[in-house]
Amino acid sequence: MATCGEVLVKLLEGYGVERVFGIPGVHTVELYRALADSSITHITPRHEQGAGFMADGYARTRGQPGVCFIITGPGMTNIITAMGQAYADSIPMLVISSVQSRNQLGGGRGKLHELPSQSALVAGVAAFSHTLMSAAELPLVLARAFAVFQAARPRPVHIEIPLDVLVENADGLLRSQPVSVTRAGAAPNAITQMARLLAHAQRPLILAGGGAIDSAPALTRLAERLAAPVALTINAKGMLPGKHPLLLGSTQSLDATREVIESADVVLAIGTELGETDYDVTFQGHFNIPGLLLRIDIDPDQTVRQFVPEVALVADARHAAEALEIALSGEVLAPRNEDWGPARVAALRARLDADWDEATRAQTLFLQTVLQVLPEAVIVGDSTQPVYTGNLTLDLDKPRRWFNSSTGYGTLGYALPAAMGAWLGSRDAGERNPVVCLIGDGGLQFTLSELVSAVEAHVPIIVLLWNNQGYEEIKKYMVKRAIEPVGVDIYSPDFIGVAKALGCAAEAVVGGAQLVEALEAAGRREGPTLIEIDQRAWMEARMGTV
């Protein structure tokens, strides 16, 4: 007899799932019955939040959903934060959990791991949460989940399976096949309207977000045909090469870039929610789009949020960009302003380069040093100073190489487990990119135990620990508002000693030369490395020379 749990594993294989992140427990052992004989590799984190962050990082580099097996009750409350980050950033994640038997749901009988309604608790951070009431439902519910991942705005999906359903006879489902759903194409009428407005514009501009990441080639050609400056959100970095003459960078929160956006007469926003953490990270407000706004998004609701568009199109970003490119080939372009396009971008770049303060320059040099040694590195960031700086100053040549938790939901502790997932996803995608975790001392203490997971799984991530002995950014925020700092000057352990005790290579560095040597050595290792950078020592050593 094949149980529901066994058929689930078979179906996941059919959908191309290669990894599962989870911590086995008494309520989930039936999910594992068929796992050992399957092609799916299991990764064991040290906390369910780590499982969710690993799945998130995996999805971002692999381009496929990260999958988690999570136990009832505390497992689900632990993973909710990671699901919140994935929900905010539109990351595909499939969370499969156990739940009490059908006749005990909501019973309040004091059962192990019991919640009044686990599904209701999770629903706010998921595209949907479904309780499987019979094994027969399994193929259809999985098809719904993968339809979200394949053709809608990708977000976490939660499927909970009651303990009695997990062991239910599912022989009749063994021949079930995966379902493939194609994303929406671009409506010709909307494309025609957009193409004409863009063709007649004298100062066109493009705002591209993470939802457009797979449209990079077509969008680049579109920008070049229009001579349109392009601003990228943080999750879209790399869609245009870093030195491209039309690239504004990811500086939409700065007044100088906002002036450029406000000067545009037609703005194409594609795959972006135009949200605060991409367009107003300084939290000053006043981000405006006075020109005609064209919006392309896979989510109908998102096309009319934040700013009302002149024309809205619900479609896959790649299909839409390619259709626009074709439509524009038949349009006669209006004369462009001489000071627009590359000229305006070059002027902005020069202005920003002159305005960066010394701290920003020193932290940018730190990031540039990392990329000089590891030019193909994927950098997974937490909420810490060099990440905030890199969001503004760093441009990369390929997408999926810079992402962090300082946007969207804004979690701490994300970068370490997400970097693990990113390395595994990169390998499963056939890449050989080194993966760097960039994290502060406060954030690292949220998920420090996942260093053990990296050692166990032989994942050679490089953890760059930016140590400023506390929550320095929050401390500055308090001082700026005349609030006496409380709770921000926290105790920092001996991270080098802890990392070595957990089985990692570890060392502290001061200055660029030591950092280069440490990175080169770390790049040759088969296991994880922690490199600690004392923030004050680095700034003192570099600020006078950058």
Q: Do the bridges between strand 156-162 and strand 93-99 make them parallel or antiparallel, or are there none, so unpaired?
A: parallel
Which residue, chain included where needed, has tokens 């804004």?
410
Can you state the angle between helices 317-329 and 216-226, rounded to 10 degrees? 30
> What residue ranges of the chain have pLDDT lower than 50?
544-546
**pLDDT for res 187:** 94
DSSP bridge partners of 314:
297
pLDDT tens figures, 364-398: 999 999 999 999 999 999 999 999 999 999 999 99
Strand ordering across the sheet containing 529-534: 402-404, 378-381, 435-440, 462-467, 529-534, 505-509
Q: Do 188-352 and 356-542 share a fold?
A: yes
Cα pseudo-dihedral 298, 301, 303, 304, rounded to 10: 180
pTM higher than the cut 0.85: yes
Residues 6 or more apart whose CB falls under 8 angstroms from that of 353 comprise none
**pLDDT for res 110:** 75
Q: What is the Cα–Cα distance from 151 to 129, expressed in whole angstroms?
A: 18
**pLDDT for res 546:** 38
Q: What is the Cα–Cα distance from 416 to 449, expressed in whole angstroms?
A: 10
The answer to whether residues 303 and 295 touch, using CB atoms and an 8 Å cutoff, is yes
Out of 3.30.465.10, 1.10.3720.10, 3.30.450.20, 3.40.50.970, the CATH code matching 4-173 is 3.40.50.970
Q: What is the CATH number of domain 188-352?
A: 3.40.50.1220
Domain boundaries, the chain: 4-173, 188-352, 356-542
Q: What is the Cα–Cα distance from 375 to 373, expressed in whole angstroms?
A: 6
Q: Is the dihedral of CA 268, 271, 275, 277 positive or negative?
A: negative
Hey, which bits of 111-203 come out as E strands? 128-131, 156-162
R_g of the chain, CA atoms, integer Å: 24
**pLDDT for res 336:** 83
Query: Which overall architecture, per CATH, does domain 356-542 show?
Result: 3-Layer(aba) Sandwich (3.40)
Token pair in block for residue 275: 């949200």
- The most distant pair of C-alpha atoms in the chain lies apart, rounded to whole Å, by 74
